[in-house]
Structure formats: structure tokens, C-alpha cells
């Protein structure tokens, strides 16, 4: 499950999103003259208006760095397209455009899309609490935070955009208690989804992919509902609902197997919340929630009843553990 299927292999090991191993980390107070730039081996070259501070994460599409905008004094996240992935430029540009076209409080804001030293980068709002993959949240807090992501997905769906890669690493948390959706690198907008050739490649991240995506069919709003269900399941149970040793095993499990009921793994999960998660994970897209609005209402209801928050906190407390949903599959690499 750890080998990258379609993108440069060096990107796989660094997919945790929290300061990739081997990449430099620099304190905010460090210098930024030419000498300092030479001394620090940044994986990218940024324009002089930004002071690079540290690596925030790295994935299939690129490397994300924390930087300070010198003139405005604000912190930004700069996502640089991988050098080895220049053929992904069009998709990267689309990612920037789609995010810019989706002004929503729970979708990361884009500031600019530019080029420096032959590499394209995206400057965006910095979200200061890491990604959801690395967080430990009690069920009620998890649902409260993900509710805004559900709203954000609904907002995108109403504009004809399917995210196609909803997973814990693509949900960012901030220290004010919010959760924001990011990474529209695989998003599908209206025109793109229809009339595609048969036998098209898999697109998405295997562990969080819907059965229809696993079969190579076009993703729809219901596919995002499924992946959101996988994300909820993973964070509630600390297990993936569909597992396997290889990508083919995982995809087979997604298509065939019923997930173990969340309460069998974590009895403290409220029954109503379990029902919501399992409905998201229905194989038949028509049997899932019909819209993000419907899902949001069910989630709200599922935690409005009383349950033992203290028990849940005890059960879910513990050391955050790094998790990797594995590499995702980029369409361009297979077309
Ligand atoms: N705006 C941001 N603020 C803070 N951290 C960020 C931001 N954007 C991304 N990151 C961090 O960088 C990681 C990788 O970002 P992103 O998902 O956009 O890259 P990617 O190359 O498309 O990833 P993948 O192919 O693995 O999905 C995120 O999981 C997160 O930890
Ligand atoms: Mg990502």
C-alpha cells in the first residue's frame, strides 16, 4: 500500500503532512539574505517577497511550505508543484482556479497562483493546526469540526464540483477550533465528468475511495459522501473500514465487504452516529445520503442526544499516531 502508483516515488515517504523527514526546518527568526538562502537547503526556490519558514507537508502533487509574506507580514502556505510533475501543471492551475471559485469559510482560501524559477506555486491561507490525520478528537468534537467540511462539500457540489479526494490529510484544523477542506487537485467539475472514455484510470486515494471510483466509474456527489464516511470511520475507530495488503485488496474490500460496525471496535460511539457512518458507506450510491445537507442534518442529530463525553474522552485520548492513507492515483500519469 505504500508504493506510489503513478507519481514520483520520492513523494510517498513524505506524505504525512507534518514536516516531511529529511526536509529542512527553519525557525521564524532566521535570516533571509542570499547567504541564509544558500545555507538552508529548501526543496524549492521562492520569490524574494516570501521568507520560507518550514515544510508543512508533502504529497503527490507537491510540497507545501510555511512562509511569511514580507510586505503584508502575514503567514501563508505555499504549495509548489513537484519538479518531476511538470505535466501536472494544468491540473495544478485548475486546482488553484477551483479553490478560488469556492469562497467558503471552510475551504482554504487562495491568494495567488504564480511561477518562480520555473516552478508553479499556489499561495494560500495558512491553517495552523495540522491536518486531521494527525489529530485526536473526541467523537462530539470530531463531528462538530467535520460538520463545516460537510457544508463546504455541499457548497462545492451545488456549484457542480466533486472533490474526489476527501480524506483526513485533506482536512486542516486550526487553533480556533475550525476544520477546513483543502486539496482540490483531483476535483472534477461539471463538464469534465460526462462523456469520458470507457476504461479510464482510477482516480483518488485507494483507502478512502468509493466503490464506483474503485470500478473506474465517474465520481459523483455520492462518492464524496462515501469518502467522508471513511474519514469519519477512521477517526472514530482508529481503523480503516476497508483494509488489505495491496491496493487491489483494498479496492476489492471496498467493492465487496461490509465494514465492521464502528461500535464493535469502539462501543462508546453513539449508536446514531454509527448509523450515519454506515449509511455513508453504503455500496449503492443511491442508498447513501442524498446530499451534504441531508448528511449534515443527520450528523447534528447524532450528537444532540446525550452520551458520555467523559468516557469517550478517556477512550479516545492517547498519543497521536501518524497515519497514511497511502498515495493517491493521479489521472494524468495514466492517460
Ligand atoms: N494551507 C495550508 N495550511 C497548512 N498546512 C497545509 C496547507 N495546505 C497543505 N498543508 C499541509 O500539506 C499537506 C499536503 O498538502 P496537499 O494535500 O495540498 O498536497 P498534495 O500534494 O496534493 O497531497 P496528496 O497528493 O498527498 O493528497 C496537507 O496534508 C497539510 O498537512
Ligand atoms: Mg492532499
Which residue in 78, 170, 63, 175 sits closest to 128, CA to CA? Answer: 175
Mean pLDDT of the chain: 82
Q: Are strands 171-173 and 179-181 parallel, antiparallel or unpaired?
A: antiparallel
- CA 63 to ligand 1: nearest atom: 21
Matching CATH number, 132-315, of 1.10.510.10, 2.60.40.1180, 2.60.370.10, 2.40.50.140: 1.10.510.10
Q: How confident is the model at residue 62 (pLDDT cuts 50, 70, 90)?
A: confident
Please check the confidence at residue 312 and state whether its pLDDT lies above 90.
no
The predicted pLDDT at position 34 comes to 53
11 versus 62: which is more confidently predicted?
Answer: 62
Same fold, 3-125 and 132-315: no
Mean pLDDT of 75-82: 94
Which ligand has its closest atom nearest to the C-alpha of 4? 1
* Residue having the nearest C-alpha atom to atom 26 of ligand 1: 59
203 lines ligand 1 (CB under 6 A): no
CA distance 77 to 234: 26
The predicted pLDDT at position 27 comes to 33
Mean pLDDT of 104-110: 98
CA distance 47 to 68: 11
Q: How confident is the model at residue 43 (pLDDT cuts 50, 70, 90)?
A: confident
Active-site residue flag, 165? yes
Which residue in 229, 232, 261, 235 sits closest to 316, CA to CA? Answer: 235
pTM for the model:
0.83
Q: Are 60 and 10 in contact (CB under 8 A)?
A: no
229 lines ligand 1 (CB under 6 A): no
Please check the confidence at residue 55 and state whether its pLDDT lies above 80.
yes
Q: Where are the alpha helices (DSSP H) in 42-125?
A: 89-100
130 versus 32: which is more confidently predicted?
Answer: 130
The predicted pLDDT at position 315 comes to 55
The DSSP code sequence of 208-270 is: G--HHHHTTPPP-HHHHHHHHHHHHHHHHHSS-SS--SSHHHHHHHHHHPPPPPHHHH-TTS-
64 lines ligand 1 (CB under 6 A): yes
Mean pLDDT of 168-175: 97
Which DSSP helix (H) or strand (E) runs through 111? strand 110-116
For the stretch 268-300, pLDDT in tens is: 999 999 999 999 999 999 999 999 999 999 999
Q: Catalytic: which of 151, 165, 183, 224?
A: 165
90 versus 284: which is more confidently predicted?
Answer: 284
Q: Are 103 and 109 in contact (CB under 8 A)?
A: yes
Q: How confident is the model at residue 132 (pLDDT cuts 50, 70, 90)?
A: very high
Which ligand has its closest atom nearest to the C-alpha of 15? 1
Which ligand has its closest atom nearest to the C-alpha of 64? 1
Angle between helices 139-158 and 309-316 (to 10 degrees): 90
CA distance 187 to 164: 6
Please check the confidence at residue 320 and state whether its pLDDT lies above 80.
no
Distance from Cα 268 to the centre of ligand 2, integer Å: 30
Please check the confidence at residue 316 and state whether its pLDDT lies above 70.
no
* Residue having the nearest C-alpha atom to atom 9 of ligand 1: 64
**Cell numbers given for 30:** 532566521
Please check the confidence at residue 14 and state whether its pLDDT lies above 50.
no
182 lines ligand 1 (CB under 6 A): yes
77 lines ligand 1 (CB under 6 A): yes
Chain length of the chain = 335
Mean pLDDT of 155-183: 97
The contacts of residue 179 (CB under 8 Å, 6+ apart) are: 106, 132, 145, 146, 148, 149, 171, 172, 173
Distance from Cα 41 to the centre of ligand 1, integer Å: 20
For the stretch 184-240, pLDDT in tens is: 999 998 755 544 444 567 888 999 999 999 999 999 999 999 999 999 999 999 999
DSSP for residue 5? S
- For the ranges 136-150, 160-174, 200-214, 227-241, which has the lowest average pLDDT? 200-214
Q: How confident is the model at residue 5 (pLDDT cuts 50, 70, 90)?
A: very low
270 lines ligand 1 (CB under 6 A): no
**Cell numbers given for 37:** 538562502
The predicted pLDDT at position 325 comes to 65
Domain boundaries, the chain: 3-125, 132-315
The predicted pLDDT at position 209 comes to 97
The predicted pLDDT at position 24 comes to 34
CATH 3.40.47.40 holds for 3-125 = no
Please check the confidence at residue 179 and state whether its pLDDT lies above 60.
yes
For the stretch 234-271, pLDDT in tens is: 999 999 999 999 999 999 999 999 999 999 999 999 99
The predicted pLDDT at position 45 comes to 87
Which DSSP helix (H) or strand (E) runs through 67? strand 62-69
Amino acid at each position: 500500500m505504500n508504493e506510489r502508483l503513478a507519481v514520483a516515488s520520492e513523494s510517498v515517504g513524505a506524505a504525512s503532512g507534518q514536516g516531511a523527514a529529511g526536509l529542512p526546518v527553519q525557525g521564524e527568526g532566521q535570516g533571509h539574505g542570499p547567504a541564509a538562502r544558500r545555507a538552508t537547503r529548501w526543496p524549492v526556490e521562492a520569490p524574494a517577497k516570501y521568507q520560507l519558514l518550514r515544510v508543512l507537508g508533502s504529497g503527490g502533487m507537491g510540497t507545501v511550505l510555511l512562509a511569511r509574506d514580507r510586505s503584508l507580514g502575514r503567514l501563508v502556505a505555499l504549495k509548489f508543484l513537484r519538479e518531476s510533475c511538470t505535466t501536472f501543471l494544468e491540473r495544478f492551475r485548475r486546482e488553484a482556479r477551483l479553490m478560488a471559485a469556492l469562497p467558503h469559510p471552510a475551504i482554504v482560501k487562495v491568494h495567488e497562483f504564480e511561477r518562480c524559477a520555473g516552478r508553479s506555486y499556489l499561495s494560500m491561507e495558512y491553517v495552523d493546526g495540522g491536518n486531521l490525520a494527525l489529530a485526536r478528537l473526541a467523537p462530539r468534537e470530531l463531528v462538530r469540526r467535520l460538520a463545516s467540511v460537510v457544508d463546504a462539500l455541499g457548497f462545492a457540489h451545488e456549484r457542480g464540483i466533486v472533490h474526489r479526494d476527501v480524506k483526513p490529510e485533506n482536512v486542516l484544523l486550526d487553533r480556533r477550533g475550525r476544520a477546513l477542506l483543502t486539496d482540490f487537485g483531483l476535483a472534477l467539475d461539471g463538464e469534465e465528468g460526462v462523456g469520458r472514455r470507457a476504461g479510464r484510470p482510477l482516480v483518488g486515494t485507494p483507502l478512502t475511495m468509493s466503490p464506483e471510483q474503485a470500478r473506474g466509474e465517474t465520481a459523483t456527489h455520492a462518492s464524496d459522501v462515501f469518502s467522508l464516511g471513511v474519514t469519519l470511520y477512521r477517526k472514530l475507530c482508529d481503523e480503516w473500514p476497508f483494509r488489505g495488503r495491496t491496493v487491489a485488496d483494498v479496492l476489492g474490500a471496498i467493492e465487496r465487504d461490509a465494514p465492521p460496525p464502528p461500535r464493535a471496535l469502539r462501543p462508546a460511539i453513539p449508536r446514531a452516529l454509527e448509523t450515519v457512518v454506515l449509511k455513508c458507506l453504503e455500496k449503492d450510491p443511491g442508498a447513501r445520503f442524498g446530499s451534504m445537507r441531508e448528511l449534515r442534518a443527520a450528523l447534528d442529530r447524532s450528537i444532540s442526544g446525550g452520551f458520555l463525553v467523559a468516557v469517550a474522552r478517556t477512550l479516545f485520548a492517547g498519543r497521536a499516531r501518524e497515519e497514511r492513507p497511502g498515495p493517491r492515483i493521479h489521472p494524468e500519469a495514466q492517460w
